[in-house]
Amino acid sequence: MDGLATLPRLETVLERLEGSAALEDMQDIIVGLRDAFGVDHMVYHWVNGNGDQYGCGTYAPEWVERYLEQGYLRIDPVVLGCFQRFHPVDWKRLDWSSKAARAFQKEAMDYGLGNQGYSIPIRGPNGQFALFTVNHRCDDPDWATFCATKRRDLILVAHYFNQKALEFEPGRIPEQGQALSPREVEAITLLAVGYSRAQAAGELSISEHTLRVYIESARFKLGALNTTHAVARALSRGLIVV
């Protein structure tokens, strides 16, 4: 699987995301993110605590319309599987065994979806549930390599995207307190998804001492008693995704 974007290209799209002023901007940005990661499709979909929904992505409009008309939300193994999980998941790990699920998958591919998928469940403040998904057509070894090398980038991009989308939620009351730096977000996110401190430091290419500095700084900003409390507060405020 080739075509992975250079870092400067991704940074340019993230700068656009940071500077976006309206929810309508998110569609153009997710197209840019799809191109930056070199995948066929990228999709973001959320449901807030009131049941209101919002989505943007690169699936064919005909498939989106078909999906809504048929009420496929009820049988979609990606939605059903991710709602029960907190960690990112490769679609191959989901349950596609039922006749309805297999028919759904075949129809989705007829509408241009790829055979591979990777989804990141997001649980934000006030009961928000969202999914950030990449979809592509390639063989299993290439997809495994992509997921292994891009997992952390995708988790962090999903976090940034969801955080920006939350800014445009009607009636949202901003959380009080100091914002976490990008490095603090990375450190807390990696701990939240199950990395040990040594693994997190290695993933970020920093020393464990430097990692501890980021964690303690984030803990102070969140008003947390310990690291576990900091992770819980960051999750509840929608500051990180797991």
pTM of full prediction above 0.85: no
Looking at the 3D structure of the chain, how many domains does it have? 2
Please check the confidence at residue 2 and state whether its pLDDT lies above 50.
no
In this predicted model, what pLDDT tens digit does every residue of 190-222 receive, in sequence order?
998 889 999 999 999 999 989 998 998 888 888
**Domain CATH code at residue 220:** 1.10.10.10
Domain presence at residue 176: no
The C-alpha atoms of residue 194 and residue 242 are separated, in whole angstroms, by 9
How much is the pLDDT for 5? 47
Reading the block at residue 186, the tokens are 């990375």
Share of residues in the chain with pLDDT > 90 (%): 48
In a domain, 174, yes or no: no
Does residue 14 sit within a domain?
A: yes
Least confident range of 15-19, 55-59, 177-181, 189-193: 177-181
Residue where a domain terminates, one of 115, 135, 167: 167
Q: Which domain holds residue 81?
A: 7-167
Predicted pLDDT of residue 111:
96
Say whether both 44 and 81 belong to one domain.
yes
Distances (CA, A) of 125 to 199, 227, 233: 28, 19, 10
Report yes or no on 173 lying in a domain. Answer: no
Give the chain's mean pLDDT: 86
What pLDDT was estimated at residue 225?
A: 76
Domain co-membership, 117 together with 211: no
In the block, which residue shows the tokens 């992505």? 57
| CA dist list (Å): 29 to 5, 20, 23, 136, 181 | 15, 9, 10, 18, 22
Burial of 18 (0-12, 13-18, 19+ CB in 10 A): exposed
Interatomic CA distance for residues 87 and 148, integer angstroms: 14
If we measure between CA atoms, which residue out of 44, 82, 51 comes closest to residue 162? 44
Quick: pLDDT tens for 50-77. Answer: 666 788 999 999 999 999 889 898 899 9
